[in-house]
Amino acid sequence: WDLFLQTAIESGWFRPGSPECAAVWLHIAEIVERWPKEQVERARAACSSTNPGDDLYFFDCTELYDRAATADPHPDTFRRWYNWERKRGNLQDAEYVAKRWSKELAGDIEPLLELMESTEGRGAFRKSLSFVEKAEQVDGVNPAVRRARFRLLARSAVRSLKDGRPDLAAKHLRSIDALEQARLGGRPLFLDGLRWACS
């Protein structure tokens, strides 16, 4: 497929860095993703010994997705790239992909939701709230976004209490009181409990 791509560019069928190139890179990534890691390494070693000095980028899915996203920044490309990094356990790289996705396609709420969830998962509530604010600008009525603000402020208040900072917890409670969701279900009782703990 790489040889086909080189030939297509040399023959003038494709422009370098075009959406057509992106489609080929995504196809290669799809093939390489299915291979076991050992098979990829054996193939890379065989190509390297046969053609020393060649650019063997096509064995690296991250590189393939990066090239495809640069050539044709499409939500499906970023989604596949993000899922690839998550599957490999590269959470920091996955966050980088989501940030780039959000920057390239500012109207997409999906990367902001992913960033909101991943930063909350590692306890970075303030950072997660910053992504909630951005997501609210894109789609303020999204149910996941609306639930997240209450949840993150409540978790921040609880953490502040655990850290011996009732003043900070009270500040979070004031922010929660301004939310419509704070009056739903059993939440008023939960908030009364937090206020008691603050006092």
Q: Give pLDDT tens digits for 104-133.
A: 999 999 999 999 999 998 889 889 999 999
54 — pLDDT class (breaks 50, 70, 90): confident
The two structure tokens encoding residue 61:
């899915």
Q: What is the mean pLDDT of the chain?
A: 92
| CB distance 109 to 139 below 8 Å | yes
Closest CA to 177 of 188, 185, 168: 188
HSE value, Cβ hemisphere, 13 Å, CA-based, for 176: 27
- Answer yes or no: is pLDDT of 179 > 90: no
- What proportion of the chain, given as a percentage, has pLDDT over 90? 69
pLDDT score at 21: 96
**pTM for this structure?**
0.82
The two structure tokens encoding residue 87:
């599957």
- Answer yes or no: is pLDDT of 181 > 90: no
pLDDT in tens, 99-108: 999 999 999 9
Q: What is the mean pLDDT of residues 144-166?
A: 90
